[in-house]
Amino acid sequence: MTGRRTVIPFGPQHPVLPEPIHLDLVVEDEFVVEAIPSIGYVHRGLESLVDRREYADFVYLAERICGICSFTHSSTFCQGVEGLMDIEIPARANYLRTMWGEYSRLHSHLLWLGLFADSLGFESLFYNAWKIRESILNEFEATTGGRVIQGACKVGGVCRDVSNEFLSGMDKRLDDIETEMQEMTKVFLSDYTLKKRLVGKGILKPDDAYNLGAVGPVARGSGLAMDVRTSGYLAYGDIGVKPVTTSGCDGYARCEVRCKELFQSADLIHKIIVAMPDGDIATTVKGNPDGEYFSRSEQPRGEVVHYLRGNGTKYLAQLRVRTPTLTNLPSLVVMLAGAELADVPQLVLTIDPCIGCMER
Amino acid sequence: MSSAEKSPWILHYNASSCNGCDIEILAALTPLYDVERFGIINTGNPAHADIFVVTGSVNEQNKEVLKNLYDQIPEPKVVVAVGICAASGGVFRDCYNVSGGIATIIPVDAYVPGCSVRPEALIEGVVKAIGVLEKKRALFDNGGAK
Ligand code: SF4
């Protein structure tokens, strides 16, 4: 019945997408038969700059791979250089990085929940999520000076310390934020209309998720307990993390995972603040990186890998980043096949696409 | 003052930025900064827009898209370049796939510096752009004569 097939372009500029990605949707009546993604609208070629920027300066570029996961990118890159040079960073720096990493997960998930609500036409919920997110950004601004681009990480530690009094203040304020999030996630998880549009839509079976290499909340929404934080990098080994999983395999499940992870992150931050060790926040760094290193961490969207190769000079020979959105794209193609055309925008959002990261 | 100056609608496009400025543009629309109180609404349709808010350093693949969107916005229109990478390519200036700023493709009326910009700065930029829009409108109504 190929005569009834139509190709509908989706993107690169589309109201629900803050970032450009293009999909060719092959539809038969109202149903999507196939989705063909094409990318490249945000590709800058950032990795190629490693041979022209010193490794210590490149931290700030690594941070600008993406404005949402900015902190995680800079800490993953620093972790890589420190791995190459056998540097052990002070315990306090380790804990501060972990704390900021969890705050950025909170800000990223709240951002996503808001955009997701907006894609479903639920504007007041979008505003609510972003209102809560501002409280998180206030903490970033107070502790690092930046709202979305923080510049707080450096090779050998962190650039700024946070006083213990301020930390206990953050701890208290987080309780209030949690109460607000509780109210908000209740709507996400029990609203009739949201459920109607999400439950059973965009199915990704556990086998498919595994075989297609899904990561992060996409994998965990299909019941796979995959979370790099369980490998115990940074302070996660001391604090302990248990991946949040659900078995729904649909759009609702992925939303549920992110809602629950908000509270998991808040919980981790409480623990980190209690256990925060005293001492220096950075060690002196001497010499140049040499050798190869894979640096992995769990971004809000899933596993990110920075591959670094040094050659004994202050310029790295190579940097290669693999981001969660790229690995989740094959899963998206599977989710979209068979979906109704009207559901496409929110299904695209359920993988939490971050095109800035993906294309660099 | 015409309706467009009292309630200018903006179209936002990300022309290969890092996202940092884009999420700040969205933050400006949400309750804390709430540009909607000035009548500013974010639209997804270029034909409805008065102000084109662009972030990013522009690459080979999106320059046509950028040009296209610009052409689809009805006259008079103004362009606001947000972030240093929209102004000059910024930190990405030396990358191989970067043309170096919005002004290499379309004319820009207001620049908002910062990496990332702060929502306050963005609001100021848009308000400046409204001033330019008013002038362009007067010119437009006169059929191009001063
Ligand atoms: S100006 Fe800076 S923060 Fe803004 S999009 Fe460009 S690199 Fe990102």
Q: Can you tell me the distance from the alpha carbon of B57 to that of A65, in angstroms, rounded to the nearest whole number? A: 13
Predicted local distance difference test score (pLDDT) of residue A341? 80
The length of chain A is 360
Angle at CA A128, nearest 5°, toward A122 and A133?
130
Q: Which of A226, A228, A234, A198 is nearest to A346 (CA)?
A: A198
Q: Which residues contact A272 (CB under 8 A, 6 or more apart)?
A: A95, A98, A99, A102, A235, A239
Q: Does A15 sit within 8 Å of B16, measured CB to CB?
A: no
Asked whether the predicted pLDDT for residue A258 surpasses 70, the reply is yes
Provide the b/e sequence for A127-136 (b: ≥16 CB within 10 Å): bbbbbbbbbb
b (16+ CB within 10 A) / e for A40-56: bbbbbbbbebbeebebe
Q: How far apart are CA B110 and CA B89, in angstroms?
A: 16
Q: What is the mean pLDDT of residues B36-58?
A: 84
Cβ burial B126-139 (10 Å sphere, 16+ → b, else e):
bebbbebbbebbee
Using DSSP bridges, classify how beta strands A316-322 and B51-55 pair: parallel, antiparallel or unpaired: unpaired
Closest residue to B30, CB basis, from A48, A127, A359: A127
- Structure confidence at residue A221 (pLDDT): 87
| DSSP 8-state assignment for residue B101 | S
Query: Residue B27: its chain A contacts at CB < 8 A?
Result: 130, 133-134, 137
CA distance A136 to A104: 8
> How confident is the prediction for chain A on average, in pLDDT?
85
Handedness of CA A258, A259, A260, A265 (dihedral sign): positive
State pLDDT tens for residues A119-167: 888 888 888 898 899 889 888 888 888 888 888 888 888 888 888 888 8
CB < 8 Å to B24, chain A: 147-148
Residues 6+ apart with CB under 8 A from B98: A44, A45, B16, B57, B58, B59, B89, B92
- Of A14-23, A26-35, A68-77, A209-218, the least confident: A14-23
List the structure tokens of B28: 């400006």
pLDDT of residue A3: 62
Calculate how far, in angstroms, residue B18's C-alpha sits from the geometric centre of ligand 1: 5
- Averaged pLDDT for residues B102-118: 87
pLDDT for A340 beyond 60: yes
Residue B86 confidence (pLDDT) above 60: yes
The token pair that represents B43 in the structure block: 């639209």
- Chain A positions touching chain B (beta carbons under 8 Å): 12-16, 18-20, 40-46, 48-49, 52, 60-61, 64-68, 70, 111, 114-115, 126-127, 130-131, 133-134, 137, 146-149, 354-357, 359
Strand ranges, E, within B4-145: 9-14, 41-43, 51-55, 78-82, 110-112
Q: In chain B, where are the structural domains located?
A: 3-141
Residue A358: band (very low, low, confident or very high) from pLDDT cuts 50, 70, 90: confident
| Lowest-confidence pick of A3-12, A125-134, A164-173 | A3-12
Query: Residue A147: CB within 6 Å of ligand 1?
Result: no
**Mutation target among A64, A109, A136 for the B interface, most CBs of B within 10 A:** A64
How many Å lie between the alpha carbon of A2 and the closest alpha carbon of chain B?
Answer: 30
How high is the pLDDT of residue B145? Answer: 57
Q: Which domain holds residue A276?
A: 2-359
Answer yes or no: are the C-beta atoms of A216 and A257 closer than 8 Å. Answer: no
Q: How confident is the model at residue B144 (pLDDT cuts 50, 70, 90)?
A: low
- Assess whether pLDDT exceeds 80 at residue A201: yes
Residue B72 clears pLDDT 60, i.e. is over it: yes
* Long-range own/partner contacts, residues A141-144 (CB < 8 A, 24 or more apart): A142/A166, A143/A100, A143/A170, A144/A100
Across the interface, of B18, B45, B96, the residue whose CB is closest to A67 is B18
The angle, 0 to 180 degrees and rounded to 10, between the axes of the packed helices A123-144 and A164-190 is 170
Span of A12-26, B8-22, B59-73, B90-104 with lowest mean pLDDT: A12-26
Q: Which residues pair with B54 in a beta bridge?
A: B13, B81
* β strands within chain A, DSSP E: 5-10, 22-28, 31-38, 153-154, 157-158, 290-299, 302-311, 316-322
In angstroms, rounded to a whole number, what is the distance separating the alpha carbons of residues B49 and B65? 16
Which residues of chain A neighbour B69 with C-beta distances below 8 Å?
13
Query: B-chain residues within 8 Å CB-CB of A41?
Result: 14, 16, 59, 61-62, 65
Rg (CA), chain A: 21
Which ipTM did the prediction report? 0.82
Asked if residue B83 has its Cβ within 6 Å of ligand 1, the reply is yes
Tell me whether residues A44 and B59 touch, CB distance under 8 A: yes
| Confidence grade of residue A8 (pLDDT, cut at 50, 70, 90) | confident
Chain B interface residues (partner A, CB cutoff 8 A): 12-14, 16-24, 26-27, 30-32, 43-46, 56-57, 59, 61-62, 65, 69, 91-92, 94-98, 115-116, 118
Token readout for A160 is 């700024």
- Confidence bin at A15 (pLDDT 50/70/90): low
Q: How many domains does chain A contain in total?
A: 1
Report pLDDT for B17: 82
Please give the structure tokens belonging to residue A318. Answer: 């190579």
Class of domain B3-141: alpha beta
Secondary structure class of B53 (helix, strand, coil): strand
Q: Which of B9, B18, B24, B96 to mutate to test the interface with A (most CBs of A within 10 A)?
A: B18
Mutate to test the interface with A, among B9, B12, B16 (most CBs of A within 10 A): B16
- Evaluate: CB of A149 within 6 angstroms of ligand 1: yes
Write down the pLDDT at residue A250. 86
Which tokens hold the place of A221?
């929404």
> With a 6 A CB cut-off, is B16 part of the ligand 1 pocket?
no
Shortest Cα distance, chain A CAs vs residue B71, angstroms: 14
Q: Give the whole-angstrom CA distance, residue A296 versus residue A75.
A: 10
**pLDDT recorded at residue B1:** 56
Inter-chain touch A64–B115, beta carbons under 8 Å: yes
Are the C-beta atoms of residues A17 and B23 closer than 8 Å to each other? no
- How far is it, in rounded angstroms, from Cα A237 to Cα A243? 13
The confidence score (pLDDT) of residue B2 equals 66
| C-alpha distance across the termini of chain A, in Å | 40
Residue B107 in this model has a pLDDT that exceeds 80: yes
Which of B13, B19, B29, B33 is best to mutate for the A interface (most A CBs within 10 A)?
Answer: B19
Cβ-Cβ contacts under 8 Å for B105 (sequence gap 6 or more): B58, B63, B66, B67, B70, B99
Are B56 and B16 in contact by the 8 Å Cβ rule? The answer is yes
Q: Is the pLDDT of residue B6 over 80?
A: no
How far, in Å, CA of A52 to CA of A353, rounded?
30
Asked if the model's pLDDT at residue A2 lies above 60, the reply is: no
Closest protein CA for atom 3 of ligand 1: B116
**A213: domain CATH number?**
1.10.645.10
Write out pLDDT tens, residues A265-282.
Answer: 998 998 888 888 888 888
Is A166 in contact with A143 (CB distance < 8 Å)? yes
Contacts of A137 in chain B (CB under 8 A): 27
Say how many residues make up chain B: 146
Report chain B residues whose CB lies below 8 A from the CB of A14.
Answer: 44
Asked whether the beta carbons of residue A67 and residue B21 sit closer than 8 angstroms, the reply is yes
Residue in A with minimal Cα distance to B44: A15
Read off the pLDDT band of B4 (50, 70, 90). low
pLDDT of residue B89: 82
